[in-house]
Every structure is written in C-alpha cells, then in structure tokens.
Chain A
C-alpha cells in the first residue's frame, strides 16, 4: 500500500478510473440501508443501575469493571447534555433507547466458519470481506455488529508478534491488567456527558496492544454497524502503542435506514508512548436521514489521543459523510517533548445534516508540533461547522501549530461556520491559521464539461481535488472508498 502511495501518477490513474466507477452508482439511495434478520438478545428499553449491571453481567465482567460502570452512570446522572455545539435536534429520551443488543446465536468463535452466515452475508453486502479476499489483502478485521464483536480475523499472525487485537470484552478476560491500567485514562468518565454515558453502558469495542519495538505488519480494521431498531451503539476503542511501536488502525461505520433517530456515542482512547506512532483513520457513513431530514444517526463521539512519551506521534484522519447530527473532536494531548499531533478531516453534509466537528491540540511538552487540515463541504440545506482548539501550555516551549480550514459550499441554502479557539500561554509558540471558503464554480464545471467530462463527474473531480490533502493521508483502499462515499453523498446537489 505504501508503494502505491509513493507513485503519484498511478494513484491518480486510479482516481480517474474511480470516477468512471462512480457512474454506476445508484442515484440517491443509501446503499447500506438493509436490515439483517437475526434474533438478538436484547435488554429492555431504558437506563438505570439495573441495566448497567445487566450489561456488565451479560459480558461476564470483573467486579471492578461493574463498579467503574456504576460510578460513571451515577456521575452521568449529575450531568447536563451539552448545548454549545452548533447543531439542533429534538431532546433525546434516554429512557427510550435499548442499551444492549447482542446477536442471539453468539457462540465462542474460533474461526470464521462459526460466524452466523446471516452476519457474514451482511458483511458481504457491506463490502467488508471478512473472508479470503480481505485476508489476502492483509487487513485484520474486528467487526462490531450492533453491540458485540463477532469476529476477529488474523489473530494468530498478530499473536506471534505479541500484538493483541480483540474485542474489549475478550481483553477484559485475557488481559484485565492492561484494560484496568489504561481504560478511562485518556477519556475519564467525568470528561463529558456522552463519555460518561458510554462508560456506563458501552457494550463492546476494539482493543489493541502493540508491544515495545513492534511495527504492526498489517492495518487493523474495525467495522461498526448499528442494526437493531431503537438500539444505541456505545462502543469503546482502546489502543496502546508501547515505546518504539507503530500501528495503523482503520474504522468504518454504517447503519440501516430507519425513520427514527438512533444514538451512537462512542469513546476512543489512544495511548502513545515514547517514539511510538498511531495512525487512526475513520470513514464514517452512518445513515444521515432522508432528503427531508427524517431519521439518521446522532453521532456524539469522544476521541482522544495521549502522546505520553517523547517523540510520540498520532495522526487522526477522518472522512465523515454520514449521520444526521455529528459532534466530534478527535484530540491530541501532546505531553511528551517533540510529540506530534495531526488531524486531517473531510466532513460532508447534505440535505438536513448537521456537523460540528474539529479537533483539540493541547501542547504540554516542549518542541511539540501539530497540524490541522480540515475540509468542510456543505450542500443542500445542511450546516457544517469546524470547531478547533489550539492550546499551548506555559511549559510548552517552541510549540508549533499550523491550521488550515477550508470550506466549500454547494448551492446557496447551506452553511459553513468556523470556530477556532487559540489559547497561548507561552511566548515562544508559533501558531498559524488559514481559512478559505469557496463555492463550486459554474465556470469550473463548464471548463470540465468542455473537455468532455459530465457535470456529475466534474463536481466529483472538483470536490476530490478540494479534499486531496486529506485523502492522501488515508490508506489507498480507504481513499477509494472515501471518494465513492463523497460522490454518493453529494449526488444531485449541483445542477
């Protein structure tokens, strides 16, 4: 994959071939909107201490974990839903949500053959080949279906290197000391309303541990899907990169079409120790609601990375095309000296979607540096906000930040907003902020038309060009998928 990326021309060829692929895509339909018919083992609606205990019991968790959940739940009850994001949605009734739903036929899975064939079919439809092709392409997959992790491929290969890649539930059984040490250490349950809720009710998620000096030989990947009606999905991801280690982690999300709004409140914690690096890529395509704004996922996510060692590095790359409402700020705490934080983001909103997304770069160590590249595309009647914080603490000598925030508008009924916050407590800091807003121009479209390129392809080309700096950061396979998603999300928004 690295090889392809370095060959600029070949990459571009693939992009143009991809443009043709786009023509085949069906019009305006949320392609991933099918429902899988499997019996699921479901908790009753509503949330109280009993439900929290039920979830913990169902998962056979140790006592301390149950206690931690309960503390989180009690804390959550004292909190208020945040009102500051630039999004509007009706009040969520937290008693009207199902907090736990596991596919019923959940056996102890040792190999793919044991996975429910209905589930496998779902993954096939999603284009998540858990089977041969994916394995050949060298991606290890952990799939979280509704709330439970169903299959983790490639475990043996990873095991040889000492890498742990499993569901959090398994990790709680097999490596409780690691989970206990790091869970909640980056995002404590007191952090915010949805982080507290997640800590109380999270049902599963992925756990990754890369031992000292190990470079993970393949990309690790998780696929999330909400299937059950009225289910909230609260997964929790924890990744630990020990000294001198490296891992690239991919996460993808989809959900079927539902008339009602569903809640997704995830927490991702990354711990990066000395000289280690985590590259975390997300392609988020939760159901955005229909063209009248009905249905769709509320996506309230807390993602944070702690660069705890010197020369540690984290890179968040996200392409967000889905969800009715998104509220998400993947952040970097740059604690180690010379640590590096990067945030590359494409956020697309169409129809009635609302996104309030950005990042936080907290410079604590000396000579730390951060880069923020944010591309917001608004179409239809949507609203797209960038909200970002760059903070340089007193002791963070020679901190550097570069922020570039570009917005693109399609049509004249959408909105783009930028809320940059800069807090500097050290004179040696150098912080740059650039922002642009542009419209997809009729003149650009005509120019491409005049060279034989259809309007639809022209718009895709212009948008892809706009997002290029971010796509370049994605692993090749994901970049292609991201481009397709973008094209589908923006279909018929111009012309």
Chain B
C-alpha cells in the first residue's frame, strides 16, 4: 500500500529525514517510535503533504501513485488520513458542516454519490457512538473549546467517518488520560481491517498495549535504526532509547 524509498526531507532548510525506507501493506499496523526530535512527526506530515516540509530526495508511492506529486487534498481523497498531534480550531464552522463537506469531497473524488443528510446523520450517530461522544458536539465549532481529549477523539471520529486506506496517527496518545486512551484505541481497533493500514507515531509504549502493532520501527536522527515485532516496544520501554543509540554508535563505529 505504501512504499517509502530513501526519503529525505527538510524543515526550514534543515534536514530532518535522512533516508527513510519503509513498506506498509494492507492489514498491517506499524508503530514508529523514537525520542523527541527524531523526525517521527515530520514523517507523518511529509506523507500528508504539509507545505511546511520539503521533500528533497526519495520516493513515496501510495497504491502505486507518486504521493509527492499529489496536492494534500488529493492525498486525503486518495485515502491518506493524518490524525493531528495538535488538532486545529476553525471558529464558526460546525463539526457537522466540516465533516459533511470532507465526506462529500472524498466521495466525489472517488466517483461515489454524495451522502444525503439522512445518510450522513446515521453514519455520524453510529461512529460517534463508538467513541462515546456527546451528540451536542456536532453543532459546536471545529475543535473550538474542546479539551485535549475531545480534540483527539474528534480526530478519530473523522477517521471513522472518512474511512481512509492509510491512517497516520501522530502522537494521538499524548495528553490523554487512561480512560480517553482506551476509548481512542478502541476507535482505532474498530477502524482496522484487512484492507487498510495504520501507522502509529508515538513516544510511549503505553498506546501499544491497546493497539497491538505488527511492526515496530525505531527512528533516530532521521533514520530508522531498528525494526522488529511488538516485543521491540517492550524492550524499549524497559531499556530506554539510549540502549539502541549505543548500538547505533557501535554500528557506526564499525
């Protein structure tokens, strides 16, 4: 589904990603872990097409399409979804308008008929139920006055509504208490199926107790320095990132 080859990217002229190679297949859950500043969020933003990030080298193919060539809205319509680390507020625009517009844009692009108001409301009721959201939120402005937890839940709701092929979750667990973490995780687990894929970007192993990854990658200084199964996350939790960094140093010295 997603193939990343030797991806390098800059932020404000500074190279953050220094040659990422990664392949994600349908049905898989990948976790990217790493210390602060290692480039985890950069990777998620580059995949989504954030204009603040510049791809300088390498390739990204999504379902055979060159993602770098696509505008961010077209990447979204193709099925790449980014759950933001810091969801943005849009004052004066209700969640209903926002969600319905987004849903219909994606549908239109994929040659599907637009959702009727009735369909939309039914879908919304079903998905917000999964996340235990107060139906009142639908008439509130997008993320305005939402608590940190509500914002993250809203991101997951959007994911459930839009049904992307690839969901990039950028530190979705940060700032959540344990109850909120469970709810958000259950949302992701409801979403997951054999035809889609999830890329989790996280600092902590905690989230991986609830969303079990098939692969764990450790990112450091813009490179994936170690990949493994879900047990790698536990090892990291136990030994900290320094353990790998030391390994890395040894490798580099050799």
Which A residues form the contact surface with B (CB < 8 A)? 8-10, 12-13, 15-16, 19-20, 441-444, 446-455, 457, 461-462, 464-469
Q: Is the CB of A450 within 8 A of B48?
A: yes
Which of A8, A10, A453, A469 lies at the interface centre, i.e. has the most chain B CB atoms within 10 A of its CB?
A: A453
- Given A19-B101, A446-B50, are A466 and B91 also a contact pair (CB < 8 Å)? yes
Cβ–Cβ < 8 Å partners of A455 in chain B: 73
Q: Are A452 and B109 in contact (CB under 8 A)?
A: yes
The reply to whether A461 and B73 contact each other, CB–CB distance below 8 Å, is: no
- The yes or no answer to B77 lying at the interface (CB within 8 A) is yes
The residue in B82, B96, B97, B102 that gathers the most chain A C-beta atoms within 10 A of its C-beta is: B97
Residue of A nearest to B168 (CB): A450
Which B residues touch A442, using CB under 8 A?
51-52
- Chosen A-B contacts, 9 in total, with CB atoms closer than 8 Å, are A10-B117, A12-B97, A451-B101, A452-B76, A454-B73, A454-B105, A461-B90, A467-B92, A469-B92
Contact of A465 among B49, B73, B87, B141 (CB under 8 A): B141
Q: Which 6 residue pairs are nearest across A and B when measured between Cβ atoms? A: A465-B92, A468-B92, A451-B102, A452-B105, A447-B88, A465-B93
In whole angstroms, what is the CA distance A467 to B91 when docked? 10
Among residues 77 to 121 in chain B, which have CB atoms less than 8 Å away from a CB atom of chain A? 77, 81-82, 84, 87-94, 96-98, 100-102, 104-106, 109, 117
**Are A13 and B162 interface neighbours, CB within 8 A?**
no
Chain A nearest CB from B62 CB (Å) reads 14
B interface residues, Cβ below 8 angstroms from A: 48-52, 71-73, 75-77, 81-82, 84, 87-94, 96-98, 100-102, 104-106, 109, 117, 138-139, 141, 158, 162
Contacts of A8 in B (CB 8 A): 94, 139
Q: Which residues of A contact B105 (CB under 8 A)?
A: 451-454, 457
Residues of B within 8 A of A446 (CB): 50-52, 72, 88
Taking CB atoms, residues of chain A closer than 8 Å to B100 are 12-13, 16
Taking each of A442, A447, A449, A450, which has the highest tally of chain B beta carbons within 10 Å of its own beta carbon?
Answer: A450
CA of A441 to CA of B77 in the docked complex: distance in angstroms?
22
A447/B76 in contact, CB under 8 A: no
Given contacts A19-B101, A451-B102, contact A462 B93 (CB under 8 A): yes
Q: Which residues of A sit under 8 angstroms from B73, Cβ to Cβ?
A: 449-450, 452-455
Minimum CB–CB distance from B181 to chain A (whole Å) comes to 23
Tell which of A19, A447, A468 touches B87, judged by Cβ atoms closer than 8 Å.
Answer: A447
> Nearest CB to that of B89 among chain A residues?
A444
Residues of B within 8 Å of A448, CB to CB, are: 90, 98, 102
